[in-house]
Chains A and B, each alone.
Chain A
């Protein structure tokens, strides 16, 4: 089976939020020199508002593990890692042990790296550094992971769901669907909807029976780095980024609450390596925590700091702050 062609035809993209065509990583890693190659499953899921990987691990662990094995075979290697956040591992360690044990006979190695839960912990370079025993900080993107990754060897890091999709393609059961979590104000439950990739936000929320009857906005594709849309835009927008929709009641969580949570998250999660993110997130948080009235928000200063973070930060974490801030202003505040 030409699995590379199949995942190309099925247009499998990374489901960690970057939407990067998986076949390109596969091809590069295949063509790169290395006496050993690595497959890494990214089960960190440290972004605000995202929980679809936990669902997949709970319900389809075998497929994820099989997806890893399929990729290991393609790369002609037996070495893999599961980078999994501590909370998930505490719940699923015996299931993971069971799911991987069936491959032991064929000498596949599934090393487990238990990660102290963090947002940066899911960033590729940070995963590599952490497994190598170095500080959990990102690496320069100018060296491609597929060429020189873990211990300097060709490495592919894939999101949990990407591996699930790979397995579906291999099994011939891939339906062009994706998992999205839906939750938020006014709804007690958190739901996972498995839906066609080109569905609009409205279709997903309808399927979940979670269309609010109050004035709302949604944060889509991760509540730290994803886009914000007004309630009246959900019919025009397709689900993008990492699969999550968080619903905000405009009367319960307006601009101030939105920004306070966002900036507090960034300053907590910044790894501290580079000045724009480390100091910028700190300044934004210091500033916003003191504000009590929406009219007192200093947008000029916020936008100045956000611009430096999104353009000059060392890695995607700091750069990610731009999208939520700009889309909130454009779509909710109509500025």
Chain B
């Protein structure tokens, strides 16, 4: 096999393709439409949905129908896509696969109905013809407040299981045989979910989905007594457009700000502002630990790990609690924002924190879990962040309001959402590291990092990356990884040699938040994540302010927080961790 190019014919059109590729991959790359559910370009092939049928022309033995996802292409192969035989067999297969489906009509799940209705119409599928086996043993299951499993609509495509295995957790399983086979979770007490939502991001029917809060948000937006603020994660603005047919990597920030106003949010702020806050706090702590370590082991240990990824934090608190002291105590960005808006901003505006609702739009499902944590509340059980919507939920809400997103005018963010390039790059693997090092450089040397950028720490989805960063003569040894699978490799290295690294960034999702569990569907392939990544760094480059410590709003908030009484200051800026049991 390898990269030798061969020639084949799809619908009589001559196509050149790599010899080792499968037909479905080649067809999709060349713009042909073949329906599929269990196939995913980045996961092992399973071949169970049988939707990707095509007809192979064989003049000698007669044409035959087969699945294209696992068909190796051969020189001179002739393939037909829409023959009567293919249509007949595909209709029957899909009618049985989707029998009894798609009667869910709440705001979020109608999202899936919409996608499927289009396909049913296109291929003439009658999904009411059959019913499915309701007598199943697997129960509806909630993974804390982040994701949920609904076996009643599972079509056994196994994408969730393959992706959960691939990232290195293995929480999802199938139970049952025949028509009773459905998704469920691993009952092993030593295995738990980290809420990353990769399952939800890849499920074609919503059997694995985020616990959505669109009904509540719709009510809140109409409540005149509440001031509803929205903040958005760095990754959403380079991904949201895909839900409306725009190219992956389109920066739709302006339209996003506009749509928030149309939806009825009272203030449009931005998590990116808070990412600048987190950067400053985290860089301060990194330098502190570096100095303490120089004094031979006093104080917090190295390597220091980032903690803005709640999936990674859950992974540490459940699987590697001995590493808890290594996590930075800086609050994660959305929490910095929530506290900032409900205390500092509330004071400025003369508004009671109880009257403020903070809504985060995240590419992430674990952020729902994070926002719900007891430790991120203050006063009379007031949450820093009240609701978290995924990119998908936001898209569903926009559609529900019949807003034509791509044609919206460019809007702007309100003053307390302004941010710099360092905050913008949090969404990509290596972004937190780079932002913190830009600031760390300044703390250690008093100067701005020459050249501003640190290409050496930018990583793609895949293997972890290491680098030696020269901070004015001192060499900082760093590592950047995404997914628990890669994290484990680094943890093993550290176990053998605790002095190997000073600072490590870990994200739970492949490629970082841009490949997050809350991102647009269908599917977030490696190729698409790469485009989003490019767009993120473009935003950074276009900013005048590239260093977190030069964001005056972020600096103002931190200075204010540090002047507050200790308890209030600590709440706003810092956090602590604790070992977690299964389901916690």
By a beta-carbon cutoff of 8 Å, the part of chain A in contact with chain B is 135, 140, 142, 267-276, 278-283, 286, 304-305, 307-308, 311-314
Contacts and interface: CB of A to CB of B under 8 A. Distances in A.
A276 B176 contact: no
B268 interface: no
B50 A314 contact: yes
B155 interface: yes
23 contacts: A140-B45, A142-B71, A270-B177, A270-B178, A270-B179, A272-B179, A273-B181, A275-B49, A275-B93, A275-B156, A276-B96, A278-B156, A278-B178, A279-B179, A280-B96, A283-B96, A305-B92, A307-B89, A311-B65, A311-B89, A312-B50, A312-B89, A312-B93
Nearest to B22: A142
A308 B179 contact: no
Interface of B: 45, 47-51, 53, 65, 67, 70-72, 89, 92-93, 96-97, 99, 130-133, 155-156, 174, 176-181
A282 B132 CA distance: 8
Nearest to A275: B97
Looking at chain A's contact residues, the main secondary structure is helix
A307 B90 CA distance: 11
A136 B451 CA distance: 57
Contacts of B177: 270-272
Contact of B92 (A142, A267, A286, A308): A308
B174 A281 contact: no
Nearest to A277: B178
Residue with the highest number of chain B CB atoms closer than 10 Å, among A140, A281, A311? A311
Contacts of B97: 275, 279
A272 B173 CA distance: 14
A278 B156 CA distance: 10
Nearest to B51: A275
B283 to A, nearest CB: 47
B20 to A, nearest CB: 13
Contacts of B176: 272
A142 B50 contact: no
Contacts of B92: 276, 304-305, 307-308
Given A272-B181, A281-B179, 6 more contacts: A140-B47, A271-B178, A275-B97, A276-B93, A278-B179, A308-B96
A272 B96 contact: no
A207 to B, nearest CB: 38
B50 A282 contact: no
B93 A273 contact: no
A312 B156 contact: no
A275 B47 CA distance: 10
By Cβ-Cβ distance, the 10 closest A-B pairs, closest first, are A272-B181, A282-B179, A279-B96, A270-B178, A275-B97, A308-B92, A272-B177, A274-B48, A272-B178, A312-B50
B48 A282 contact: no
Nearest to B71: A142
Contacts of A276: 50, 92-93, 96
